[in-house]
Amino acid sequence: MLNQLSPDLIRRRLTSLFPTELIEDIARERDVVQRDRKIDITMLVWTLIMGFAVDGEARTIAGFQRAYSAATNQTVARSSFYDRFTPALAALLNDLLEHALEEVAVPHTIAPQFELFRDVLIADATVFRLHRLLDSFPATHSGQSGAKLHLVQNATKQTIEQFQLTDERTHESSQLRTGSWLRGRLLLFDLGFYSFRRFALIEENGGFFLSRLKSNANPLIVGERRKWRGRAISLPERRLRDVLEDLSREIIDVTVEIEFKRRAYAGKESTDSMEFRVVGVRNEDTDDYHLYVTNLPDEFTPRQVGALYGLRWEVELVFRELKSLYGLEKFQTSDPAIVELLVVAALLTLTVSRALLGVFQELFPETVFPRERWAKTFRSLAQLMLEDLAQSFGHPPPNLSELLFRDARQPEKSRLLLNERVAEAFRRRSSA
């Protein structure tokens, strides 16, 4: 089985995802390339991508510089390296991420019913702390700075569909726009995106949605979607919350009428109503119902609807991978432009990791690759992959002795080490 793993398999997949010509062409369009060419722009891009995964490295420009030097065996002045972190470089990374999101896809194998949808999407957001002096990213608490990363993850293709970066105070619901792009797609989201008007717009655009029902929602039941034997309690024309305590059935599957306000037009706001499906699955531990609102067809049973909502955990795993493995919360910069650049670099790292995972899943369809285990392994080998790429681009193998000397030596002769400062203090005392 392992004879399918050629020595250059990883390199070929990486360079097919971001060919050198593609990077250089975009770099010229974005005016990233400078005439002196002291820094290889292709290797700089790969250093930002793979450098994010390097285990134990702080996400600083100095850390990326060390990774670049180790891979290329090239001495670069710190100022020259820092000067490359410009809005033009950020634009280049954005273009590459947009390109990659079209290229990376891992086919889903969840259930045949998923063929009803073009894609299954999950919307969510996460907050991460930044340097406290970053005024352009205000947090909810004074004296802090915080950013919020808004994602729409494509659970079908195992990649990112959309992303936005805002300050922590921006509500996630404001960053999710409905429209024709949702046609034929299923969107899962939590209560942060809950809006009856949003439900209606998704339906009107030919999409599907699934959300938890808010605890204070008490819609009117207008029909039951399955029949019960015996003396079952009749639910139509009653409010949902008014009948829950009287029910002993394991599931609820009803049609409800929901009223909502349309967006104001010409200064006037109109009220409308639509019918949706509400599903309840009894929780044995708490002896109450988990309630969901959706427009999924009846071929999805109530228990399947509840299990399907559990797919939202997929995006939580993405956030955990970005934070705990790729250091999304370890930015050591007070420059907002560099923060945005590094967020895109982190998303590129995640995308590249997913691209390699797709290769291995295609080669070994019977083998299970747990995502977190895969990400940790990818991180542990990231520097080796970066060095392999550098050599394929014509850079010499790293001179380890030179790297140790260059990076570990005292940078300024005037700066005394601890034992030297102590000795100097004793010399001064004895001469006094």
Longest dimension (CA), the chain: 104
Q: What is the DSSP string of 356-412?
A: HHHHHHHH-TTS---HHHHHHHHHHHHHHHHHHHHHHTTPPPP-HHHHHHHHHS-S-
pLDDT band at 56 (very low <50, low <70, confident <90, very high): low
Q: Answer whether residue 65 shows pLDDT above 80.
A: yes
pLDDT computed for residue 80 by the predictor: 85
Average pLDDT over residues 425-430: 63
Structure tokens at 113: 């019913």
In the chain, what percentage of residues exceed pLDDT 70?
87
Distances (CA, A) of 368 to 289, 361, 376: 34, 8, 15
pLDDT computed for residue 329 by the predictor: 75
- Please state, rounded to an integer, the average pLDDT across all residues of the chain: 85
pLDDT band at 348 (very low <50, low <70, confident <90, very high): very high
Give the pLDDT confidence of 228-276 residue by residue, as tens digits: 655 667 788 889 998 888 888 888 999 999 988 887 776 777 888 899 9
Q: Answer whether residue 52 shows pLDDT above 90.
A: no
Q: Answer whether residue 370 shows pLDDT above 80.
A: yes
pLDDT computed for residue 49 by the predictor: 92
In the chain, what percentage of residues exceed pLDDT 90?
45
Give the pLDDT confidence of 158-183 residue by residue, as tens digits: 788 899 999 999 999 999 999 999 99
